[in-house]
Structure 1
C-alpha cells in the first residue's frame, strides 16, 4: 500500500500507512501504531496505544509535550489520539500501561518531519557575483541538503538542525535560464519506510545583459 503527499515545491513518498511498535513486558504486550509513520508539518496524524493486559480496564496513559493537545478516544484496552493538523516539529508518542501491581511498559515512537527547502536565486546584471542559497529551517532527524545545477553538485551538507548552504557564481550570459535545484533528503531509521523522503525546490537563473 502506498501513501504520497505532494506540494508545489516537493514530494514525499511513503511505502506504508501504519508503523507499529510492540513491547512485551512482564507477560503482556503494548502496541503503538502511528499513521502515517512520517508526515509533513500541518498534516494530520493518528496514534493508537493498546495492550493485551488481562485486566478488564488496565491503566493506559499517553502524555505529550506541553501544548500538544490531540482529540482523544478510548476503550477498555486502547487509547487513540488524532491530530487534525500537526503544529510541532517533533512529536513523541509515549505509551504507559500499568497491568497489575508494579507492571508498567513504555515505548516511544518519534515522528520525523522537516520543512520544504527554499532556494534564493536573485536576478543580477551580467558580470556581477550571485550568491545562491539553499535552506531548510526546521528539521527533526538526519537531513542531507544539496544544491545542484544539472549533474553538478555545487554544495552538500548533513545536519539534524536547520541548515543553509551557499554557492557563489559570476553572472554570465550563457548561464541565463539555467535551473538550480535545492534538494533535501531524509533517510528515516524506521520500518516499513524503505525509501528516503525527498523534497526539492527548483528555480531558474535570470541574467540581465548590460
Structure 2
C-alpha cells in the first residue's frame, strides 16, 4: 500500500494525473512533478506515483501557493479534462465510424512498453504495443489492452569500467506503479480463475489507464 503525504487541495489532482499514463507522452504534465524536486524525480525513475510518495510535503505546499506553478497546473488539468471527455464527433473515430462507437476492440500483447515506470517490456514489440495504445487513445478508438503485469523478469544493464556487461534485476512493486486493482460493478476487486490439470490458479486483475484506454 502506498502512503502519500497530505496533498494541498489546490494541487490535489496531481494524484489523479499520476495514475493516468497520459503524462507519459505529454512533457508539460511530467513537468508538474519534475519541477517540484528535480533530484528526486531522477531518483525515482520519472515515476510520478513513487515521486508523490517520497516528495517532501513542503514542496507541495510551496507549489500550491506559487502563482506560476498553479497557472501551469490549471492549464494542464484543463487540457487533460478536455482530452478525457471529448464531445460528440470530437475524436477521429467518432467522426469516421459513429456507428461503431459502442463496440470494443481487444488488443492482446505479452508486453506493453508504455514508460520506464512500468517495466513490463523488453524491446521493440513492447514499445510498438505501447505506442498502439497511445495512438488509439488519441484517435478515440473503443479499445482495451490486455497483457501481463509482471512483478519481475526484466532488468537494467550497465557496463563496468572493464567493459563487462552487468544486469540488475528490479522487482516491480505494485504499490509504486501507475496501476490500480480493477474492480467490478459491485466494487470488489476482480479475480479470475483458470483450471489446469489437477489444480486451479487465480490471478488478480490490475488496471493501467493510458489516456482514454484501459
Normalising by structure 1, we get a TM-score of: 0.21
Normalising by structure 2, we get a TM-score of: 0.21
**Structure whose alpha-carbon radius of gyration is higher:** 1
Greater strand fraction, Structure 1 or Structure 2? 1
